[in-house]
A = this chain, B = another copy of it.
Amino acid sequence: MSLTIYLSGEIHTDWREQIKLGINASNLDITVLTPVLNHENSDNIGNEILGDEENPFWKDHKSSKINALRTQNAIKKADIVVIKFGDKYRQWNAAFDAGLAAGLGIPTIILHQPQLIHPLKEVDAASMAVAQNPEQVVKILKYVCQN
């Protein structure tokens, strides 16, 4: 079965690369979509393209909406959304993506370390699997896609 997946969340580690490598190594028929992964570029894209905002709220607002053109389209195209939470940053956008997927009826796999179990309980409870590392995600995808 061919699938489209979207990899949401943490952008300062290489977990997406590990999943892509695993998908390629197993030759799975999976299209992988991601957000823009250049943090600085994604934060400034509104000002860069549409002109400067002095007020940081509107600067963030413009950039976030341009990013949403990509991320929300990618989530709608996905059969499964994989979301990675880490210790750094608040990652409210990752939890927002999990909720958005739930509202659209798209199943999720959540990826995080055991110490985050309690704060992520509602997000985990709405998901189809909770993994601790990218290898487990690849194994799930391999199982799900097998012929």
**Chain A contacts to B: CB under 8 angstroms:** 1, 3, 33, 36, 45, 49-50, 53, 55-58, 60-70, 72-74, 77, 79-80, 85, 89-105, 107, 109, 114, 117-126, 128-132, 136, 139-140, 143-146
CA distance A102 to B96 in the complex (A): 9
- Tell me if B92 and A93 are in contact (CB < 8 A): no
C-alpha gap A100/B117 in the complex (Å): 20
User: CA–CA, A52 to B96, complex, Å?
Assistant: 28
Looking at the assembled complex, report how far the CB atom of A75 sits from the nearest CB atom of chain B, in whole angstroms.
Answer: 9
Q: Closest Cβ of chain B: how far from A54's Cβ, in Å?
A: 9
Copies of this protein in the complex: 8
Q: How far is the CB of A127 from chain B (nearest CB, A)?
A: 8
Q: Which residue of B lies closest to A56 (CB)?
A: B117
A61 contact set on B, CB distance < 8 A: 121, 124-125
A65 touches B128 (CB 8 A): yes
For A67, the chain B residues whose CB sits under 8 A away are: 122
Choice from B62, B74, B103, B122 contacting A103 with Cβ under 8 Å:
B103
Q: Kindly identify which residue among B3, B120, B128 contacts A92, using a CB–CB cutoff of 8 Å.
A: B120
Q: A93–B136 contact, CB under 8 A?
A: no
B144 touches A70 (CB 8 A): yes
Contact (Cβ within 8 A) A118 B49: no
